[in-house]
Amino acid sequence: MAALEVAKTTYSIVDFLEWQRQGSLDLNPFYQRRSVWNPRVKSLLIDSLLRGYPLPLVFLHNRLDVTTSRTVRQVVDGQQRLRTILAYIDIDSLENVDEWDRFTVLRAHNRDYAGLSFQQLPDDVQTRILQTPLSVNVLPSDIDDVTVLTIFQRMNSTGLKLNPQEIRNATWFGEFKETSYSLAYQQNQRWVNWGIFTRQDVAQMKEVELSADLMGFLINGISARSKASIDGLYRKFDDGVPGREALINDFEATFDILEDVYGEAASRSSLRRFRTTAWFYVAFAVASGRLGVSPSAADIVRGMERTELDIRKAESDDVVMKPLRGATADKASRRARADYLLARSS
């Protein structure tokens, strides 16, 4: 069987706009599902354009329309991206416009251009968007519908099950998601250097989930960690994070303190217990100063050393030691660990 020859090229956004206006772009071939992106997802995409971030590949299939003797470019993959871009630039070029096609960029995504239509953007920004090149793969014009449909189905089905954080990342697009992702990314090197997460963990967004949990602590104090509780944070604060700037400052300042804690503890096998996410949450809570006392990094390291010795010396059935040995994330266990570490850091 001969391999499929796919042409790899680039087209600017203005090319797609002209094709749409001319009626030579088919955003809805028979195999495409309806557009399902909500305004938050669309806002994020336009923000990516405004920032010059690269966008995923678009796949086209050029077909000859014998009734008009014109080439029609069917969108095999990239329909929702293209529809979003075209709706933002010229909504009148689209057919079957619905209320979700009318949107602007949200403040959570871009404070400079929030609420502005395309026509309200500065001229140089409009020009930059229109001239943005999109990477495109063009399928051979002579392949049949069955082959095109097979390609479409394979491109939209990876067979991989998403973990809860990956699902959140694909579901929410508001300020809480943006903030937790940004804070996690800023600490990318520290997560690995401190031994909190591996590169594989980071690839699976586990550090983003923990960052969301730590944000929850800064907002609500110590609380239980569960799928439902983290989902609740994303849902409750999707429209806005209260005191966002102060929260970001506190998060970053706490990590700066923990740099001196884990720069020491991460290199010592005797303190490996405190590199688990269960204990990192506690160390963050203690270092934040939100528990009534603000111990220094050196105090926290000493507290870890004392706590580790206490755990090793205690009897296995010691009621006080049980929450310290375990990794449960219920509120009582977290509170017990935090109180104990804080006391031993004094």
| Residue 81, pLDDT above cutoff 90 | yes
Cα separation values, 154 from 80, 147, 149, 158, 159, Å: 17, 11, 9, 7, 9
pLDDT in tens, 153-189: 777 665 556 789 988 987 888 999 999 999 999 999 9
Give the pLDDT confidence score for residue 33 in this predicted structure. Answer: 60
Give the pLDDT confidence score for residue 69 in this predicted structure. Answer: 77
Q: What DSSP line would sit under 261-279, residue for residue?
A: HHHHHTT-GGGGGGGSHHH
Give the pLDDT confidence score for residue 288 in this predicted structure. Answer: 97
Confidence of residue 300 (pLDDT cuts 50, 70, 90): very high
Confidence of residue 306 (pLDDT cuts 50, 70, 90): very high
| Residue 276, pLDDT above cutoff 90 | yes
Which position has the higher pLDDT, 88 or 273?
A: 88
pLDDT in tens, 189-232: 999 999 999 988 888 899 999 999 999 999 999 999 999 999 99
Confidence of residue 252 (pLDDT cuts 50, 70, 90): very high
Backbone angles phi, psi at 344, to 5 degrees: -80, -10
Residue 207 near residue 197 (C-beta atoms within 8 A): yes
pTM check: above 0.75: no
